[in-house]
Amino acid sequence: MPPRYYTVTWDQLHRDSKALAWRLSETAPAGGWLGIVAITRGGLIPAGIIARELDCRVVETVSVITYDEEKRGEPRIAKSPVAAGDGAGWLLLDDLVDTGTTARLVRGLLPHAHFATIYAKPAGRPVVDEFVTEVSQDTWILFPWDTEPQFIAPIARSAPVK
């Protein structure tokens, strides 16, 4: 079976990030979030949008490396957040939770953070507290920073003949 692709445009990413911000505004602790920790690199753009919507001025990053020269390796922390402590009162953001490998590693660093992603796959869903859109595990999400517009043949032309 050919892989499935779900293409996310800049407009859609903005709308989905804003939808997540609405939910997060309702679950924020009293006094608001202390800050946001974005998982780089995918979480940077959603974190910027959500930080604006929640009027959150403190944004930290955590960098996790899971790919080495296009092949999956053991995940490792390349940069830890400085000010987030154990994550209590902090919002942890990423674009996607896939298998949950990165999410579990970062959860170990910030066990008390509220973890939210824009998109979630079934294997990673249990690791996050909140997400906007679920896609199947076999779907490859094409984010706007990874793609360029081009012609794609209709599904009927690429479907196997029965």
**Is 99 annotated as a binding-site member?**
yes
The DSSP result for 67-81, as a single string, is EETTEEEEEEEEE--
Q: Is 101 annotated for ligand binding?
A: yes
Tell whether 32 is in a known binding site.
Answer: no
Residue with tokens 């517009």: 149
Residue in 98, 129, 138, 146 annotated catalytic: 98
Q: Is 95 a known active-site residue?
A: yes
Check if the beta carbon of residue 119 is closer than 8 Å to that of residue 137: no
Residue 158: in which H helix or E strand, if any?
Answer: helix 155-158
145 labeled binding residue: no
- Active-site residue (options: 16, 86, 95, 129): 95
55 is in an annotated binding site: no
Neighbours of 64 (CB within 10 A): 21
Q: Is 118 annotated as a binding residue?
A: no
Residues 93 and 38 sit within 8 Å (Cβ to Cβ): yes
Which of the following is catalytic: 16, 68, 86, 94?
A: 94
61 marked ligand binding residue: no
Instruction: Let me know if 98 is a catalytic residue.
Output: yes
95 is in an annotated binding site: yes
- Residue 4 · residue 139 · CB < 8 Å: yes
Cis previous bond, 15, omega within 30: no
* Residues with catalytic function: 94-95, 98
Residues annotated as binding site for xanthine?
98, 141
Residues annotated as binding site for Mg(2+)?
95
Residues annotated as binding site?
41-42, 94-102, 140-141
Residues annotated as binding site for 5-phospho-alpha-D-ribose 1-diphosphate?
41-42, 94-102
